[in-house]
Amino acid sequence: MVNNRVKSLNKSATLKITALTKSLIREGKDVVNFAAGEPDFDTPDFIKAEAIKAIEQGFTKYTPSAGIPALKEAIASKLLRENNIKTESSNVLVTTGAKYALYVALLSLVEPGDEVIVPMPYWVSYPEMITLIGGEFRPLLTKKEKDFKIDINVLKKQITAKTKVIVLNYPSNPTGVTYTRQELSEIAKIVEQFNLYVISDEIYEKLIYDGRKHISFASLSGMDKRTLTVNGFSKAYSMTGWRLGYLAGPNEIISQASKIIDHTTSCAVSFSQQAAVAALENKTWAEDLCLKFQERRDLLWQGLSTLDKIKPIKSQGTFYMFCDVTPTGLSALEFADQLLKQQMVSCIPAESFGIEGYIRLSFATGNGQIKKGVARITDFLNGI
Ligand code: PMP
Ligand code: GLU
């Protein structure tokens, strides 16, 4: 009865465990939430005020399907100013979250049977979206010793006549690593040589630490013609529930892709779009957020890096810390399950990110919770 592609999908482990954690907390359980894939900070008041104003002024109807002109223009100038991507507002599509921007990007580029390469470990939704549109998901092996980054020689070997797209995500969910200009340029050469396209998911661009600078893939020489840049408001402005993201790229792709929005969601939420203009005009909020997250990263790192049975990788960006738990002798699923049951600490086992033996800890929670969580993990490890 049900379509086979839909039947073959896995549920989202990140959404499932996050929902379970929230429901335990609602029941009054003292859970330390290291599972959350969203900032714990409230959406800033200056953004809320714009949405309230928009609703009060009756801005509550369908908008143009590609997004309101003011937001598309604000996005195009942001991309030029901050990302060195020269684009027109007509090459921007506003979407219902970055997740939907990714889906639209994949659907626009991939024919059934085309191969899509995704570095592994990967965020849970990439393989499922590729399956859903009939593409062939091709995970690209990376190594811990190389910070889980793409090895150019391994990438070259993986490319076949059917390869069409590489999905990049940096700073990376779940590993927290990011790429330098030099490393990205090496990837760009391959993209050019093999006539590929890149979907570059840069949703964590603002959360990047220790003075690193985020380099957008589309800003590299020749890559503007081959790159669809995906970004959104969920992480940088604590707007996960507002469901707002965007896609920017070459006009010949974007003008076609906009038809998908016409016939699926119609448009993103009107007052979310109006409020997002104010988000992009603000200069300081996201920078302050980044500093707060860096402090939390340091706190979690200090707590975990001296322990014996867990080997964290110091995050270069995002609000995730990826940890090797193989020294415990437990699988990541067992680790996550027992940690929740014994110590009331939730985290995401990395099987769903395509790798065994790791867990993802989110530090999108307060300093007090981080300290409490570290103490509980220490107790848990001592008991093994
Ligand atoms: N890409 C990555 C890597 C993510 O972690 C997320 C978080 N859910 C998204 C895209 C989608 O974000 P949203 O749909 O909330 O904009
Ligand atoms: N991206 C977040 C995460 O990885 C949110 C949940 C989801 O959409 O997967 O946890």
Q: Is 163 helix (H, G, I), strand (E, B) or coil?
A: strand
Read off the tokens for 160.
Answer: 């076949």
Per DSSP (E only), the strands in the chain are: 32-33, 92-95, 115-120, 136-141, 163-169, 197-201, 227-232, 245-248, 311-313, 320-324, 345-346, 348-349, 358-362
Compute, in angstroms, the gap from residue 203 CA to the centroid of ligand 1.
7
Q: Which ligand is nearest to the CA of 353?
A: 2
Closest CA to 343 of 384, 298, 285, 295: 384
Mutation test residue for ligand 2: of 10, 17, 38, 234, the one with most atoms within 8 Å of CB: 38
- For 27, the token pair is 């029941």
Q: Give the pLDDT score at 106.
A: 98
| 331 CA from centroid of ligand 1 (Å) | 26
Which of 373, 99, 362, 358 is CA-nearest to residue 246? 99
Q: Angle between the 367-382 and 332-343 helix axes, to the nearest 10 degrees?
A: 110
User: Which of 317, 12, 344 minimizes the C-alpha distance to 173?
Assistant: 317
Per-residue model confidence (pLDDT) at position 89: 98
CB of 15 closer than 6 angstroms to any ligand 2 atom: yes
Picking from 345, 373, 352, 360, the residue whose alpha carbon sits closest to that of residue 31 is 345
Is the CB of 14 inside a 6 Å radius of any atom of ligand 2? Answer: yes
| Domains parsed from the chain with CATH numbers | 4-43+285-382 (3.90.1150.10), 46-281 (3.40.640.10)
Residue 213 tokens read as: 């600078």
Q: 81 alpha carbon to ligand 1 midpoint, in Å?
A: 23
| Binding-site residues, ligand 1, Cβ < 6 A | 37, 97-99, 123, 169, 173, 201, 203, 232, 234, 240, 245
> Which atom of ligand 1 is nearest to 100's Cα?
14
Does ligand 2 come within 6 angstroms of the Cβ of 37?
yes
Instruction: List per-block mean pLDDT (blocks of 10 residues) for the chain, which spans 384 residues.
Output: 92 89 91 94 98 98 98 98 97 98 98 97 97 97 96 98 98 98 98 98 98 98 98 98 98 97 98 98 94 98 96 98 97 94 96 96 97 98 94
Query: 179 to each of 237, 249, 273, 383, how far by Cα in Å?
Result: 23, 21, 30, 38
Q: Find the 222 Cα to ligand 2 centroid distance in Å.
A: 31
Residue 139 confidence (pLDDT): 98
233 CA: nearest ligand 1 atom: 16
Please report how the helices 45-56 and 270-281 are oriented relative to each other, as an axis angle in degrees rounded to 10: 140
Which is nearest to 358 in space by CA: 20, 118, 122, 32?
122
Compute φ and ψ for 275, nearest 5 degrees: -70, -30
**What Cα–Cα distance (Å) separates residue 180 from each residue in 153, 213, 216?**
18, 8, 10
Mutate to test the pocket of ligand 2, among 15, 360, 362 (most ligand atoms within 8 A of CB): 15
Name beta bridge partners: 100: none
DSSP secondary-structure letter at 221?
T
Ligand 1 pocket mutation pick from 173, 208, 319 by most atoms within 8 angstroms of CB: 173
Ligand 2 pocket test, candidate residues 9, 10, 14, 204, most atoms within 8 A of CB: 14
Tell which residue, 240, 138, 141, has the closest CA to residue 196: 138
Q: List the residue whose alpha carbon is closest to atom 9 of ligand 2.
A: 14
Rounded to an integer, what distance in angstroms lies between the CA atom of residue 345 and that of residue 91? 44
Closest residue by Cα to atom 4, ligand 2, is 37
Ligand positioned closest to the Cα atom of 18: 2
How far, in Å, from the CA of 108 to the mean position of ligand 2? 23
Question: How far is Cα 81 from Cα 122, in angstroms, rounded to an integer?
Answer: 29
Give the span between the Cα atoms of 284 and 15, in whole angstroms: 30
Q: Is the CB of 12 under 6 A from ligand 2?
A: yes
Residue with tokens 């020749």, as numbered in its chain: 222
Ligand that lies nearest to the alpha carbon of residue 246, given by its number in the listed order = 1
CA of 36 to the centre of ligand 2 (A): 8
Reported residue count of the chain is 384
Query: Residue 201 CA to chain centroid, in angstroms?
Result: 7
User: CA 125, CA 167: separation in Å to the nearest integer?
Assistant: 12
Could you say which DSSP state residue 10 is in?
Answer: P
- How many angstroms separate the CA atoms of 347 and 316, rounded? 19
